[in-house]
Structure 1
Amino acid sequence: MTRQESASTAPQKYAERSYRSPMGLVGGVLMIALGLWLGGDAVLRGAGDTKLTALFALLLGVPLVAAFTLRPVVKAGEDRLLVRNPFRTLTLPWGAVEDLRASFSCEVFTTGGRKYQLWAVPVSLRQRKKAGRQAARGPAPRRFGLGGDTGPVPRAMADQTVDDLREMKAQAAHREGAIGEPVVRWAYEVIAPCVVGVVGLLVMLVV
Structure 2
Amino acid sequence: MTSPTPPTEPSFADRTYRSGAGLVTGALLIVLVGGVAGDTVVRGTGRTPWAALAVLLFVIPLIVAFTLRPAVYANAERIRIRNPFRTIELPWTEVADLRASYTSELFAEGGAKYQLWAVPVSLRERKKAARKASRASQDDPFRRTSVHADVRDAQARMAAADRTMSELRELSEGAVAAPEQEATKPSVRWAYEVLAPSAVGAVLLVVLLAIG
Query: Does TM-score exceed 0.5, indicating one fold?
Result: yes
Note the aligned Cα RMSD (angstroms): 2.0
Equivalence for 1:198: 202
Q: How many residues align?
A: 191
Q: Distance in 1 between matches of 2:190 and 2:197?
A: 14
Deviations 1:143-181 (A, max 9, x none): xxxx96985240011111111000001111133445343
State the alpha-carbon separation in 1 of the partners of residues 20 and 104 from structure 2.
16
SS in 2 for 1:120: coil
The one of 61, 64, 67 aligned to 1:63:
61
Find the counterpart in structure 2 of residue 157 from structure 1: 160
Give, as a single letter, the amino acid of the residue that structure 1 aligns with 2:37. Answer: G
Distance 1:76 1:176 in 2: 18
Matching residue's letter, 2:198? C
2:78–2:92 Cα contact (<8 Å) kept: yes
- TM-score scaled by length of structure 2: 0.84
In the TM superposition, what is the alpha-carbon distance from 1:48 to its structure 2 partner?
A: 2.8
C-alpha contact 2:119 2:161 (8 A) present in aligned 1: yes
8 Å CA contact 1:100–1:107 kept in 2: the answer is: yes
The answer to whether residue 89 in structure 2 is matched with residue 86 in structure 1 is no
Q: Which position in structure 2 is the counterpart of 1:105? A: 103
In structure 1, what is the equivalent of residue 5 of structure 2? none
Stretches of structure 1 lacking an aligned partner (at least 5 in a row): 1-12
Decide which of 172, 176, 183 is 2:175's aligned counterpart.
172
Instruction: State how far apart, in whole Å, the 2-side matches of 1:107 and 1:178 are.
Output: 24
Does structure 2 retain, via aligned residues, the 8 Å contact 1:172–1:178? no
Q: Distance in 2 between matches of 1:40 and 1:135?
A: 49
In structure 2, distance between residues paired with 1:24 and 1:68? 8
What letter is aligned with 1:168?
L
Q: 1:131-153 CA deviation, whole Å, 9 max, x = no partner? A: 111122225869xxxx9698524
Q: CA 1:47 to 1:39, structure 2 compared with 1: closer, same or farther past 3 Å?
A: same
Q: Secondary structure at the match of 2:47?
A: helix
Match of 2:50 in 1: 52
Q: For the structure 1 residues 148 and 79, does the alpha-carbon distance in structure 2 shift closer, same or farther, using more than 3 Å as the test?
A: closer
Q: Is the 8 A contact 1:79 1:175 kept in 2?
A: no
Aligned to 2:186: 182
Check whether the contact 2:78–2:184 (CA below 8 A) recurs between aligned residues.
no
Tell me the residue number matched to 1:7: none
Equivalent in the alignment of 1:6: none
